[in-house]
Amino acid sequence: MYSPAIIAEAMVNGLLTGAVYALVALGLTLVYGVLHIINFAHGALLTCAMFAVWGLSEGLGVNVYFTIVPLAVVMFGVGYALQYWLIGPASRGEDSNTLLVTLGLSIAIENALLAVFHSDTRTLSGDAAFDVVELGPMLLSRPRLIGFGVSLLVALVLWLLLTRTDAGKAMRAVAKEPMGARLAGIDVRHIFALTFGIGCACLAVAAGLLLPTFYVTPRVGNAFVLVAFTIVVLGGMGSVPGALIGGLLIGMVESLGGLLFGESLGQGGIFVIFILVLLLRPQGLFGARA
Amino acid sequence: MLEVRGLSAGYGPTQIIRGLDLDVAPGKIVAVLGANGVGKTTLNKTLSGLLPIQAGDIRFEGQPLGGDAADILERGLVHVPEGRKIFPNMTVRENLELGSYRRAKVRRAANLEKMFVQFPRLRERSTQRAGTLSGGEQQMLAIGRGLMAEPRLLILDEPSLGLSPLLVEEMFALIRRLNAEGQAILLVEQNVVQSLEVADTAYIIENGSCSLSGPASELAGNPAVLSAYLGLEIGDA
Ligand SMILES: Nc1ncnc2c1ncn2[C@@H]1O[C@H](COP(=O)(O)OP(=O)(O)OP(=O)(O)O)[C@@H](O)[C@H]1O
Ligand SMILES: [Mg+2]
- Catalogue all structural domains in chain B, each as residue range(s) with its CATH number: 2-76+152-230 (3.40.50.300), 88-149 (no CATH)
User: What type of residue is A230?
Assistant: T
> Can you tell me the distance from the alpha carbon of A282 to that of B26, in angstroms, rounded to the nearest whole number?
54
pLDDT lower than 70: segments of chain A: 1, 129, 266, 288-290
**Residue pair B136/B86 in contact by the 8 Å Cβ criterion:** no
Answer yes or no: do B85 and A175 touch at CB < 8 A.
no
* B124 C-alpha to ligand 2 centroid (Å): 30
**Residue pair A185/A56 in contact by the 8 Å Cβ criterion:** no
Least Cα distance to B192 among B64, B90, B40 occurs for B40
> Can you tell me the distance from the alpha carbon of B129 to that of B83, in angstroms, rounded to the nearest whole number?
17
**pLDDT tens digits along A194-234:** 999 999 999 999 999 999 888 899 999 988 888 999 999 88
* A11 C-alpha to ligand 2 centroid (Å): 58
**Which of B89, B139, B145 is the best residue to mutate to test the A interface, defined by the most A CB atoms within 10 Å of its own CB?**
B89
**pLDDT tens digits along B100-157:** 999 999 999 999 999 999 999 999 999 999 999 999 999 999 999 999 999 999 999 9
**Residue pair B146/B154 in contact by the 8 Å Cβ criterion:** yes
Answer yes or no: do A176 and B85 touch at CB < 8 A.
no
Ordered by start, the domain boundaries in chain A are: 20-220
Residues in A touching B70 (Cβ below 8 Å):
182, 185-187
Ligand 1: atom nearest CA of B43 is 18
> Can you tell me the distance from the alpha carbon of A89 to that of B96, in angstroms, rounded to the nearest whole number?
31
> Can you tell me the distance from the alpha carbon of B183 to that of B26, in angstroms, rounded to the nearest whole number?
8
Q: Which residues pair with B63 in a beta bridge?
A: B60
Q: Is A186 on the interface with B (CB under 8 A)?
A: yes
Range 144-163 of B in CB contact (< 8 A) with A: 145, 149
Residues in A touching B88 (Cβ below 8 Å):
176-177
Map residue B44 onto helix, strand or coil.
Answer: helix
pLDDT at B236: 44
Ligand 1, atom 3, lies closest to the CA of: B11
Strands A132-135 and A138-141: antiparallel
Beta carbons within 10 angstroms of residue B134's beta carbon: 12
Rg (CA), chain B: 17
* B80 C-alpha to ligand 1 centroid (Å): 16
pLDDT at B227: 61
Nearest CA in chain B to A164: B94
**pLDDT tens digits along A235-276:** 888 888 999 999 999 999 888 888 888 777 767 778 888 888
Written in H, E and C, the secondary structure of chain A is CCCHHHHHHHHHHHHHHHHHHHHHHHHHHHHHHHHCCCCCCHHHHHHHHHHHHHHHHHHCCCCHHHHHHHHHHHHHHHHHHHHHHHHHHHHCCCHHHHHHHHHHHHHHHHHHHHHHHCCCCECCCCCHHHCEEEECCEEEEHHHHHHHHHHHHHHHHHHHHHHHCHHHHHHHHHHHCHHHHHHCCCCHHHHHHHHHHHHHHHHHHHHHHHHHHCCECCCHHHHHHHHHHHHHHHHCCCCHHHHHHHHHHHHHHHHHHHHHHCHHHHHHHHHHHHHHHHHHCCCCCCCCCC
Beta carbons within 10 angstroms of residue B109's beta carbon: 10
The pTM score is 0.92
* Strand extents, DSSP E, chain B: 2-11, 14-24, 29-33, 55-60, 63-64, 77-80, 153-157, 184-188, 201-206, 209-215
Residues in A touching B11 (Cβ below 8 Å):
none
Ligand found nearest the CA of B190: 1
Least Cα distance to A30 among A221, A231, A217 occurs for A231
pLDDT at B226: 65
By most ligand atoms within 8 Å of CB, the mutation choice from B15, B40, B187 for ligand 1 is: B40
Nearest CA in chain A to B95: A173
What is the arithmetic mean of pLDDT over B50-57? 94
Whether ligand 1 lies within 6 angstroms of the CB of B233 is answered as no
Nearest CA in chain A to B131: A176
DSSP code for B199: -
> Can you tell me the distance from the alpha carbon of B108 to that of B99, in angstroms, rounded to the nearest whole number?
9
Residues in A touching B99 (Cβ below 8 Å):
184
What is the arithmetic mean of pLDDT over B187-206? 92
Residues in A touching B85 (Cβ below 8 Å):
177, 179-180, 183
Q: How confident is the model at residue B234 (pLDDT cuts 50, 70, 90)?
A: very low
**CA distance to partner chain A, nearest, from residue B40 (Å):** 17
